[in-house]
Amino acid sequence: MAQWKPNLLPFANVTDSDQFNWSGIEVDITNTICPMLGGCTFITVDTLDERLTVIADGVANMSIGAIVVTPERQEIVKFIKPYYYSVGATLYATSASADKIMANGGWDGLSGKPVCVLDNYYYDITAYYPVAPITVESNEEGVSKAQNGECIAWLYDSGYSEATIGLNHVPGLDSQEVAPYGIAVSKTSSPELHHSLSAAIIRLMQDGPESDMVQWDSEYVYSADTTYNKNLNQTVDAISTFDTRVLITNPLNATPTNVLPGKVKATPALVISAQALHEALLPADVAKAAASSSANFTWPVDWKGFEIDIINRLCTTTLDCAPPILLGDIMDNIDARIDIIQKQGKTDNVFVISSVSVTEERAQRVSYIHPYYYSSGPALFTTPAVIQTLGGEGISLWEGLTGKPVCIVEEYYAAQEIQESIRPQFVYIPTIKLTQSEALEKIESGECVGYIWDADVANVLPGLVALTGTDNDAKFVSPYGIIMAKDGDPNLYAAISAGLVDMMDDGDDSEMLKYEEAVIKNGNLLTMVNALSNFSITTNITATSSQGGGDGDGGGDLSSPPPASPSSGAMKKMKIIDMTYMYGTTVVFSLFSLFF
């Protein structure tokens, strides 16, 4: 009879259950999240059914116990998005049994063979392969039967080495039905808890390869003779960079220390203009009059536009918004948007959502809130006649611009990169807010061949043609981010972060995709929506790999190479949290997935 060793990494390892001396990915997640909730107390349960029941009945507030998200379980509990890991179903066997399985054709060669399967395991192998299942009540029983030959293999989660459980995953055999792990909460729990948990997970995934989740995956899984989790790394990339090449890591120094206290008081600052992101139904002077009196101003406002819709949603869900501060036109100097943050960001909880591209320089002055919500690249606004002189129909943005006079705002986010790569002769202008006649005059006089500005503002200079870049110009694309004070209220950061997730976590039905209909369809936004909705950058998690997972301790779609630049230093070690925090958030850990 095989005995489990006291090491069930990667998800949880128990060295002293009485003192809660645990380690593993889920332990580190909990150690990080619980201080943001004001602290946690813990209970342990034995089975998956018990995990779901104590949450559904309100005995505990949340469960982070390697629970695969399935439609059936979503009927019982709510799973917080974004999800935090992905798993599949894989086979573990002795070396001799593994050789037989592969010699007989892998999964297809299991017909009639005894396979040990946990009771209520999420993957129903009999629906796909005519095996002879032997139901077991525990992992220990499944391993034992596979070792003594009663089963040819044990069907379970990936991510474990022979040193951990005494069996090897069958080499060369793909995982089946890869699916995400999610934190489970009661369907009747408060929106504040949902939003707090959602924002906390974002904080664990917003720093690219330096993100805590990537570091923990490297520490606990990759070191156990498995590979990096592709879905995790793709989701981290989407959250950190909006699937662009721009990575800014500038989180607030402070983090929330309790569940969000209802709606967080905030003051939006925005611009009103006639371009797609901010087209107002009310003239700007009427809008200012309405905003000047809180008695006459209510959310949502009767304006329209992509970013207006985002503000309206935030101000009716996670934020308690004061009348907005209006900053003029979108084409005005970007410094006005940053200045208002630096002057009133802390005192009035001001945040700005007005097409603020993400740059290193700006990140030194303000904090960008993750996740981002849109991205844009530069376009050259010019006349059809100029296009002919540059190379004719079909020309892309950068062809023929070397040495040519190009009008651009000096502070434009991509100006330096464009100058270094294309070497045009820049003609710097204080603002690109020009009338059509003024723009045409500058072009026709030869002062410049056109104006470089964001491609999604194509109707700012009506009558001009917008030339965009090619696929090779992705380095110029930048995300748009909501900005706030660098040393501002961490609750404001969390509330906006959670509100953005709410708008992007419902797949094709996500509100953000509906808002986007006013502007250019954005592939980076779709990637983000898929990552937040499914823990995959494709519509559904369907990929298979040499690793997988299931309902207890698994790995997932782990077929990707390591992240671009994982930290070379020591992995972050989280202090084991005390059990006596004052706030009454109760977390469920499962002995079922911890030790036997």
pLDDT, tens only, 120-134: 888 899 999 999 999
Examine the pLDDT at 289 and tell me if it is beyond 60: no
**Residue 183, both tokens:** 């934190």
Q: CA of 390: how far to CAs of 271, 384, 395, 401, 449, in Å?
A: 34, 10, 8, 7, 9
How many Å apart are CA 317 and CA 78, to the nearest integer?
A: 18
The span from the CA of 513 to the CA of 579, in Å, is 42
115-124, 233-242, 424-433, 479-488: the lowest-pLDDT one = 424-433
Confidence at residue 293, expressed as pLDDT on a 0 to 100 scale:
52
What token pair was written down for 546?
Answer: 């040499």
The domain 264-375+481-534: what is its CATH number?
Answer: 3.40.190.10
- Counting runs of H as helices and runs of E as strands, what totals does the chain give? 19, 24
Radius of gyration of the CA atoms of the chain, in A: 27
pLDDT in the model for residue 100: 92
Q: Which CATH number is 89-179 given?
A: 3.40.190.10
- CA dist 406 and 425 (Å) reads 6
Determine if residue 430 is left, alpha or beta; phi over 0 gives left, psi from -120 to 50 gives alpha, anything else beta. Answer: alpha
Is 331 a residue whose pLDDT tops 70?
A: no
Kindly report the average pLDDT of the chain as a whole number.
77
pLDDT the model gives residue 359: 87
- Give residue-wise pLDDT tens across range 9-31: 566 655 555 545 677 888 889 88
The pLDDT assigned to 572 comes to 25
Alpha helix locations (H) across 131-183?
139-148, 162-165
pLDDT digits (tens, 9 = 90+) for 438-448: 777 888 888 99
Most confident of 419-423, 454-458, 519-523, 588-592: 419-423
| pLDDT value, residue 503 | 96
Higher per-residue pLDDT: 169 or 542: 169
CA angle 280, 286, 291 (to 5 degrees): 90
Q: Can you tell me the mean pLDDT for 212-237?
A: 79
Is residue 483 within a helix (H) or strand (E), and if so which, with residue range? strand 478-484
pLDDT band at 333 (very low <50, low <70, confident <90, very high): low
Q: What is the mean pLDDT of residues 216-245?
A: 80
pLDDT band at 497 (very low <50, low <70, confident <90, very high): very high
The half-sphere exposure of 299 on its side-chain side, counting CA atoms within 13 A, is 20
Which range among 77-81, 119-123, 198-202, 386-390 shows the weakest confidence by mean pLDDT? Answer: 386-390
Q: How confident is the model at residue 373 (pLDDT cuts 50, 70, 90)?
A: very high
Cβ atoms within 10 Å of 570's Cβ, excluding its own: 8
- Token pair for residue 355? 């097409």
* Lowest-confidence region among 103-117, 203-217, 240-254, 366-380: 240-254
Q: How buried is residue 416: exposed, middle or buried, by Cβ count under 10 Å (0-12/13-18/19+)?
A: exposed
Alpha helices in 255-382, H assignment, sequence order: 284-291, 306-314, 335-344, 360-363
d(CA 165, CA 554): 13
| The pLDDT value given to residue 567 | 31
Instruction: Compare 248 and 4 and report the one with higher pLDDT.
Output: 248
pLDDT of residue 332: 60
Residue 168, pLDDT score: 82
* Cβ-contact 479, 524 below 8 angstroms: yes
pLDDT category at 291 given cuts 50, 70, 90 is low
How is residue 37 written in tokens?
């909730």
Look at residue 467 and tell me whether its pLDDT is greater than 90: no
Model confidence band, residue 183 (pLDDT cutoffs 50, 70, 90) = very high
What is residue 115's three-state secondary structure? strand
Over 60: is that where the pLDDT of 193 sits? yes
Q: Are 528 and 242 in contact (CB under 8 A)?
A: yes
pLDDT bucket at 557, cuts 50 / 70 / 90:
very low
- The alpha carbon of 270 is separated from its chain's Cα centroid by a whole number of angstroms, namely 25
pLDDT for the residue 573: 23
Q: What span, in angstroms and rounded, lies between the C-alpha atoms of 182 and 271?
A: 38
Can you give the pLDDT at residue 317? Answer: 94
Q: How many other C-beta atoms can be found within 10 angstroms of the C-beta atom of residue 361?
A: 10
Strands 325-326, 78-79: pairing is unpaired
Contacts of 96 (CB under 8 A, 6+ apart): none
Question: Which pLDDT belongs to residue 382?
Answer: 86
Q: Sketch the domain layout of the chain as residue ranges.
A: 89-179, 264-375+481-534, 378-476
Phi–psi pair at 157, nearest 5 degrees: -75, 150
Which of these CATH numbers, 3.90.1720.10, 3.10.20.340, 3.40.190.100, 3.40.190.10, describes 378-476? 3.40.190.10
Task: Tell me the pLDDT band of 148, cut-offs 50, 70 and 90.
Answer: very high
Residue 463 predicted with pLDDT over 80: no
Q: What is the model's pLDDT at position 90?
A: 86
Asked if domains 89-179 and 264-375+481-534 share a fold, the reply is: yes
Burial class (CB in 10 A: 0-12, 13-18, 19+), 175: buried
Note the pLDDT of residue 49.
Answer: 83
Between 264 and 229, the more confident residue is 264
> Within 10 A of 244 (CB to CB), how many other CB atoms are there?
22
Top-confidence range, 8-22, 316-330, 456-470: 316-330
Percentage above 90 pLDDT, the chain: 31
Query: Would you give the distance in Å from CA 319 to the centre of its chain?
Result: 21
pLDDT tier at 318, thresholds 50, 70, 90? very high
b/e string for 391-412 if b means 16 or more Cβ within 10 A? eeeeebbbebbeebebbbbebb
Give me the pLDDT at residue 482, please. 95
